Chain A
C-alpha cells in the first residue's frame, strides 16, 4: 500500500469516526451553551432575546420605511434573519475551528470532525431556540400553523448538513491560510444585503431576478423560511438545496481526505 493511500485511508476512518461520535459532539455543543450562559438569569434564552429584539426593531422600522404590512413583513424578516444567522455564524466561526481547538487536536486523540460538528451543533441549537421565537412571533401576529411546517423535517437536517460541510471546508482552509476569517466576514456582510432577507424577490424587477436564483444562500433560506410562513418551498429550491448539501459534503470529504495528515502541522 502506497504512502498516500495509507494516509488517505486514515483520513477516511477519522472522518467517519468523527461523524459517528455523536455523543461527543452533541454533548460538547450542548455543554458549550450551558456553560456560557450558566451565570445569567435567562440562561440560553439571552441568545433568543437579543435575536428577537433585533428582528422586532428592524421589522417595525423597515415595514414603516418600505410601507409593508407588518403582519406579513415581520415573520418574513424574522425567519430569514434567523436562518441567515445560522449560516453566517457557522461560516464566520469556520476558519477558526481548528485554530481555536489546536490544543485538543495536537494533544488528544479525538477525531477532527468532532471539533467541527461541535461548533455546528452549538450554532444549530441557538438556531433552534431562535426558530421557536420566530414561530411565537408569527403566531402572535395572527399567522396560522399549517401542515407545510412538516417541510422543516427536510429543511432542518439539510441546513445542518450544509452547515457542517461549509464549516469543515472553511476550517481546513482556515488552518492553513490565516487571512480567510476576514475574507469570510466581508463575504457575509455583502451576502446579507444581496440575499433576500430584508427585501423579497417580488420587490425587484423581473430582469434582475436571475441573480437571486443563482445565489445558493437564497435557496437554503427559502427551504426554511417558506414553511415558517405557511407555504411549501418550491420544488426547485428543494432540489437545489439537496444538490448543494451533497456537493459541499463531497467537497469537504474530499479535501479532508487529501490534507488530513497535514492539518496538525498547520496549527
Chain B
C-alpha cells in the first residue's frame, strides 16, 4: 500500500560562500592541516525541524503555511529528492512530482518537442502520436503547441506541465503551489483529473494558498510554520486554526 511516513525529519541546507566552493582552497587547507586557515563556521539554514507525519493510502493532503514555512522543502523530502539530514522517512509507491512548471519544460523548445522530451524523461507510455494527442486534448493549447514554450503565458505553461506530470503512472502525486496560475475552467478540469487519480488509490499532497482549492481537493491539511508542523488534521479545522493564528504572528 502506498504510504509516506516521516519520523522526526529535519532538513538543514548548507550555505556555501565562494571560499567553500573552491577546490584549490580546500586542497590548500588540507595540506596545512585544515585548522590554521579556518574560513569560519559553516552556515546552515534549518528548513524543516523535527517533522513527524503519517500519510496513508487515499489521503489528499493540502499544505498551508506562510512563505518560507517549508512547504516546498517538505514536498521535496516526500519525493525523496532531498534526503533528511536528521530523522527517517519511509515511503512506498511510485512518485510523480509537479514542483514548478519550469522544470520539465524547456522554454526554447516547442510544445510538441517538450512533449517528446518529457515523454522520454518521465518514461511515459504511448510515445509519439498518442501521448501528444492526449496532452494536446487535455491542455487545449491547440496551435500553440507548435510554438516555443517561452511564448506561453504562465497559465498555459501550467496546463502543459500539469498534463505531463499527471500522465505519469504513479501512486503518489506531489504538487507545489503552481496550480494558482490556472483559470477557473482549467481548475475544473484539473480537479477532475486529480479526482480520477485519487480513485486509483493514490496519495496526493499539494501546497496551496487558495483555501477553496484546499477545501475542494483535500481531506486533510498540514499546517507548517518555520519548518515545524503546527497542525495536521481535518481540512476545515486546520484552515480555521491557521487563519486564527496568522494575524497574531504579525
Contact = CB atoms under 8 A, between A and B. Distances in A.
A154 B79 CA distance: 40
Nearest to A26: B120
B103 A178 contact: no
Interface in A173-215: 173, 176-180, 183
B233 interface: no
A98 to B, nearest CB: 13
Interface in B120-168: 120-123
Interface in B48-92: 76, 79-83, 88
Interface residues of A, number: 30
A21 B121 CA distance: 10
A110 B122 CA distance: 8
A173 B21 CA distance: 10
A243 interface: no
A62 B88 CA distance: 63
A242 interface: no
**Interface band, chain B:** 20 to 34
A35 interface: yes
B81 A264 contact: yes
B243 interface: no
A108 B113 contact: no
B23 interface: yes
A31 B120 contact: yes
A108 B123 contact: no
Contacts, number: 77
Interface string A1-44: 00100110010000000000101100110010001000000000
A107 B21 contact: no
Contacts of B100: 103, 107
Interface in A107-135: 107-110
A21 B83 CA distance: 22
* Interface class of chain A by DSSP: helix
Contacts of B116: 31
Contacts of B218: none
Interface in B1-29: 13-14, 16, 21-24, 26
A264 B120 contact: no
Q: Which of A24, A35, A183 has the most CB of B within 10 A?
A: A35
A10 B26 contact: no
A144 interface: no
A54 interface: no
Contacts of B21: 176-179
A35 B81 contact: no
Nearest to B103: A107
Nearest to A106: B81
- Name the residue in A10, A105, A264 with the highest tally of chain B Cβ atoms < 10 Å from its Cβ: A264
A8 B49 CA distance: 23
Nearest to B170: A109
Contacts of A178: 21-22
Which of B80, B83, B117 is packed against the most chain A CB atoms within 10 Å?
Answer: B83
B138 to A, nearest CB: 20
22 contacts: A7-B83, A10-B80, A23-B120, A24-B120, A27-B120, A31-B116, A35-B109, A103-B100, A103-B102, A104-B103, A106-B81, A107-B99, A107-B100, A108-B99, A109-B96, A178-B21, A179-B21, A183-B23, A264-B81, A264-B82, A265-B13, A266-B16
Given A23-B120, A107-B103, A266-B14, 9 more contacts: A7-B83, A27-B120, A103-B100, A108-B81, A108-B121, A176-B21, A177-B23, A179-B21, A179-B22
Interface of B: 13-14, 16, 21-24, 26, 76, 79-83, 88, 95-97, 99-100, 102-104, 109, 113, 116-117, 120-123
